[in-house]
Amino acid sequence: MATIVVQGKQAGRSLPRLDARDKVSGRAEYVHNMRLPGMLHGKIFRSSLPHGRIRSIDVAAARALPGVYRVVTADDVRKVIPHPYYGPAFHDQPVLAIDKVRYVGEPVAVVLADDPHVADAAVQLIVADYEEMPAVFDEVEAMTSTAFVHEELKPAGTFPDLKHLKGRKNTNIALDFQLRRGDVDKAFAEATHVFEHTFRTQQVLHLPLEPFVSIADAGTSGVTIYTASQSPSFVRIEIARLLGWPENRVRVKVPYLGGGFGAKIYIKLEALVTALSLIVHRPVKISLTMEEQFYTLTKHATTLHIKSAIDQDGRITARKCDVWWNGGAYADIGPRVTQKSGFTAPGPYDIENVSIDSYALYTHLPPAGALRGFGIPQLVWAYECHTDIIARAIGQDPVEFRRKNILREGRPQATGTLMKDAAIEAVLDRIAARMNWSGTFDRGSGTVRRGRGLAIGFKASISPTTSIAIVNIFADGSCGLYCSTVDMGQGSDTAMAQIVGEVLNLAAETIRVVHPDTDVTPYDMATLGSRSTFHMGHAVRIAAEDARDKVRALARELGLPEGTNFSIPDLFKKKYGMQAGNIVGVGSFIPSYTPPDHETGQTPNATPFWMIGGAGAEVEVDTETGHVKVSRLINVADLGRPINPKLVETQLSGASLMQLGFTMFEKMQFDGGQVTNASLADYKIPGIFDVPETIENEAVDAVQHSGPFGAKGVGESGTFSVSPAIANAIDDAVGVRLTELPLNPEAVFRALRAKANRPLPDA
Amino acid sequence: MTPFELLEPPSLAKAIELLDPDDLSTRPIAGGTALMLMMKAGVFKPTRLISLAKIGPQFRRIATGPNGDLRIGAMTSLSMMEHDAIVGRHAPVIARAMRRLSNVRVRNVATIGGNLAHADPHMDLPPVLIALGASVVIAGRSGERTIPLEKLFVGYYETALQRDELISEVRIPSQHSRSTVYLKCTTGSVDDWPALGVAASIEADRSSIRSAALVVGAATEKPIRLNAAEAILSGTQATDAVLQRAGDAAADEVDLISDARGSAAYKRELLRVYVARAVSQALATNGGRG
Q: What is the mean pLDDT of chain A?
A: 96
Question: Rounded distance, CA A158 to CA A140, Å?
Answer: 28
pLDDT value at residue B289:
39
Angle A531-A482-A263 from CA coordinates, rounded to 5°: 40
Question: Rounded distance, CA B98 to CA A241, Å?
Answer: 55
Contact A665/B at CB under 8 A: yes
CA–CA distances in Å: residue A156 to residues A163, A176, B22: 8, 16, 58
> Which among A749, A752, A753, A758 is the top mutation candidate for probing chain B, defined by the most B β-carbons within 10 Å of its own β-carbon?
A749
CA distance B269 to chain A (A): 7
What digits encode the pLDDT tens for the residues A670-700? 999 999 999 998 999 999 999 999 999 999 9
Largest CA distance in chain B: 60
Backbone angles phi, psi at A522, to 5 degrees: -75, 180
pLDDT value at residue B1:
65
Question: Rounded distance, CA B279 to CA B200, Å?
Answer: 6
Residues in chain B within 8 Å Cβ distance of A630? none
What digits encode the pLDDT tens for the residues B273-286? 999 999 999 999 86
CA distance A73 to chain B (A): 22
Contact B260/A at CB under 8 A: yes
User: What's the mean pLDDT in A633-652?
Assistant: 97
User: What's the mean pLDDT in B74-89?
Assistant: 97
Q: CB distance A117–B2 less than 8 Å?
A: yes
Report the residue from A669, A685, A749 with minimal CB separation from B269.
A749
CA–CA distances in Å: residue B285 to residues A118, A131, A601, B12, B69: 55, 63, 65, 40, 21
* B105 contact partners, CB below 8 Å, separation of at least 6: none
Strand, helix or coil at A429? helix
Local confidence band at A479 (pLDDT 50, 70, 90 cut-offs): very high
Residues in chain A within 8 Å Cβ distance of B255? none
Residues in chain B within 8 Å Cβ distance of A760? 263, 265-266, 269
Q: State which amino acid sits at residue B255.
A: D
* A303 contact partners, CB below 8 Å, separation of at least 6: A139, A140, A198, A199, A200, A323, A324
pLDDT value at residue A260:
97
CA distance A111 to chain B (A): 14
Question: What string of DSSP letters covers A510-550?
Answer: GEEEEPPBTTTS--B--S-TT-HHHHHHHHHHHHHHHHHHH
Relative to beta strand B224-225, strand B208-217 is antiparallel
- Position A5 pLDDT exceeds 80: no
- Position A238 pLDDT exceeds 80: yes
Contact A392/B at CB under 8 A: no
Residues in chain A within 8 Å Cβ distance of B187? 665, 744-746
Residues in A 725-744 with any Cβ partner in B closer than 8 A? 744
Report the residue from A115, A624, A689 with minimal CB separation from B273.
A624
Residue A716 annotated to the active site: yes
User: What's the mean pLDDT in A414-426?
Assistant: 98
* H-helix segments, B26-91: 33-40, 78-83, 85-90
Local confidence band at A3 (pLDDT 50, 70, 90 cut-offs): very low
pLDDT value at residue A1:
41
Report the residue from B1, B42, B269 with minimal CB separation from A760.
B269
CA distance B66 to chain A (A): 40
pLDDT value at residue A471:
98
Residues in chain A within 8 Å Cβ distance of B46? none
What digits encode the pLDDT tens for the residues A39-71? 999 999 999 999 999 999 999 999 999 999 999
pLDDT value at residue A7:
56
Report the residue from B2, B262, B265 with minimal CB separation from A121.
B2
pLDDT value at residue A186:
98
Number of separate helices (H) and strands (E) present in chain A: 18, 30
Give the distance from CA A38 to its chain's centroid: 35
Local confidence band at B3 (pLDDT 50, 70, 90 cut-offs): confident
User: What's the mean pLDDT in B154-183?
Assistant: 96
Question: Rounded distance, CA B55 to CA B74, Å?
Answer: 11
- Position A624 pLDDT exceeds 70: yes
Cβ A330 vs Cβ A87: under 8 Å: yes
Cβ A411 vs Cβ A425: under 8 Å: no
Cβ A460 vs Cβ A530: under 8 Å: no
pLDDT value at residue A189:
98
Dihedral in degrees, nearest 10, Cα atoms A205, A206, A210, A215 = -80
Rg of chain B's alpha carbons, rounded to an integer? 19
Question: Rounded distance, CA B9 to CA A353, Å?
Answer: 78
Contacts of range A750-758, beta carbons closer than 8 Å, 24 or more positions apart: A750/A626, A750/B266, A751/A626, A752/A623, A752/A626
Q: CB distance A684–B260 less than 8 Å?
A: no
Rg of chain A's alpha carbons, rounded to an integer? 27
* A631 contact partners, CB below 8 Å, separation of at least 6: A450, A618, A619, A620, A692, A693, A694
pLDDT value at residue B290:
37
Q: CB distance B190–A760 less than 8 Å?
A: no
What digits encode the pLDDT tens for the residues A723-761? 999 999 999 999 999 999 999 999 999 999 999 999 999
Residue A177, strand partner residues: A358
CA–CA distances in Å: residue B244 to residues A448, B196, B271, B272, B275: 18, 18, 11, 7, 8
Cβ A673 vs Cβ A652: under 8 Å: no
Contact B43/A at CB under 8 A: no
- Position A190 pLDDT exceeds 80: yes
Check: complex ipTM more than 0.90: yes
Residues in chain B within 8 Å Cβ distance of A669? 260
What digits encode the pLDDT tens for the residues A66-123? 999 999 999 999 999 999 999 999 999 999 999 999 999 999 999 999 999 999 999 9
CA distance B169 to chain A (A): 28
* A141 contact partners, CB below 8 Å, separation of at least 6: none
Local confidence band at B288 (pLDDT 50, 70, 90 cut-offs): very low
Cβ B111 vs Cβ B76: under 8 Å: yes
- Position B230 pLDDT exceeds 70: yes
Of residues A582, A610, A641, A615, the one with CA closest to residue A720 = A615
Percentage of chain A modeled with pLDDT above 90: 94
Contact A118/B at CB under 8 A: yes
What digits encode the pLDDT tens for the residues A506-529? 999 999 999 999 999 999 999 999
pLDDT value at residue A165:
87
Of residues A227, A299, A218, A236, the one with CA closest to residue A268 = A227
- Position A193 pLDDT exceeds 70: yes
pLDDT value at residue B287:
52
Q: What is the pTM of this model?
A: 0.96
Backbone angles phi, psi at A214, to 5 degrees: -145, 150
* H-helix segments, chain B: 12-18, 33-40, 78-83, 85-90, 92-99, 104-109, 112-118, 125-131, 149-152, 227-233, 240-253, 264-285
Question: Of the listed A425, A502, A620, A716, which one is catalytic?
Answer: A716
